[in-house]
Structure formats: structure tokens, C-alpha cells
Amino acid sequence: MLYISLALLIFAIFFFWQSNRQRKEAGLPGGRVIYTDTRGWGEVEKPLFYAALGLTGKPDYLIEKSGQIIPVEVKSGRAPEAPYDSHIYQLASYCLLVEKTYGNRPSYGIIHYENRDFAIEYTKELESALIELLADMRVDEGKKDVARSHDQPSRCKRCGFRHVCDQKLA
Ligand code: SF4
């Protein structure tokens, strides 16, 4: 269990470090604003797991819609102009887990901020970028130091890992 928690923490930190570079390479979708009715949202009881990639995670909610199961990631705070790359990758990993768990590929997932929701298309390109990122993480997880990939103090200010990160700005 400790191993999984640690893996998840490293996974999340790596999302933040790598997101800039990956976004440039992958041309991540920016997301479109949608309206969602939270009454239909079902909480997820236990984490989803996909052994082939050693990937695990628990979306905040799953929605059944038009024969699809759509993952929802809830973020505290007001929405940025466009979802952060780290949030997009996190949601993409949930889309992948939903597909592998239920055998039903979601065409999109939802990032829910306090004041706005974004639908993120789960494209083949996004899936490939995620799989590449996971492979990069595996290469880097044995390294002692992984360099920060950006120079944006504002990002570090909002980052949930600043209390454990020795590379934070500001
Ligand atoms: S505090 Fe800054 S450098 Fe550290 S993980 Fe967060 S965003 Fe990256």
C-alpha cells in the first residue's frame, strides 16, 4: 500500500514537472466549457487499476451518459482560462483506466472547477502522449533528481506538492 501511495505521489509530481514539455509535443486539447448536472454523478468506491501499465487512480466521479462512462476530476478553486496540463494528464489516465476496467472507451472526460467545467476529448493523440509520459516516468523514477521543467512561480504557488518539492519557485 505504501508502495502504491508513493508511486501515486511520484506520478503526480512528475505530471507537474513534465507537463510543459509534453504539452508542446502532444498539442494537448485545451478543453471546452460545458454544463453538467451534478445530480447524476456517482462516486467511485475503489481505485481503478491497469496492471499492464502499473497504473492506478480513482476519479472523483463517474457519469453514465449515452452508453459511455465518463470520468470526472474535481479541482478546488476557480477555473483557469484553460485546464492545466497536469489536470489534463490526470484525467486522461482516468479515461484510460475506465476503458481498461469497463471495456468501454470514453470519448471525453470532465474537469470540474468551482465555477466552470471543461470537457477534454480523450483522443488517440492524448492517449499516446499519456503512455509516453508514463514511459518517461519509469525511466526517471530510479533517478535521484528530476529537473523542474518550467520557470513559472505562479505554478509552484498553486502546486499541491510545494511542501515536499525542493525545486519550487517563490
Ligand atoms: S512546486 Fe513547482 S517545481 Fe515543485 S512540483 Fe510543484 S510546480 Fe513543480
Q: Decide if 24 is inside a domain.
A: yes
Reported as a pLDDT band with limits 50, 70 and 90, residue 43 is confident
Radius of gyration from C-alpha coordinates of the chain: 16
The 10 Å Cβ neighbour count of residue 109 is: 29
What does the pLDDT average to over 150-162? Answer: 81
**Pocket residues: Cβ below 6 A from ligand 1:** 13, 16-17, 148, 155-156, 159, 161-162, 165, 167-168
CA of 125 to the centre of ligand 1 (A): 26
Q: Decide if 67 is inside a domain.
A: yes
**Residue range 44-83, pLDDT digits in tens:** 788 999 999 989 999 998 888 888 999 999 998 899 888 9
Q: Decide if 10 is inside a domain.
A: yes
The Cα–Cα gap between 100 and 94 comes to 10
The Cα–Cα gap between 63 and 109 comes to 9
Q: Decide if 92 is inside a domain.
A: yes
Nearest C-alpha neighbor of 120 from the set 77, 159, 75: 75
* Side-chain-side CA neighbours of residue 27 (13 Å): 3
This prediction's pTM? 0.70
Q: Decide if 164 is inside a domain.
A: no
| Structural domains counted in the chain | 1
Domain range for 59 = 2-158
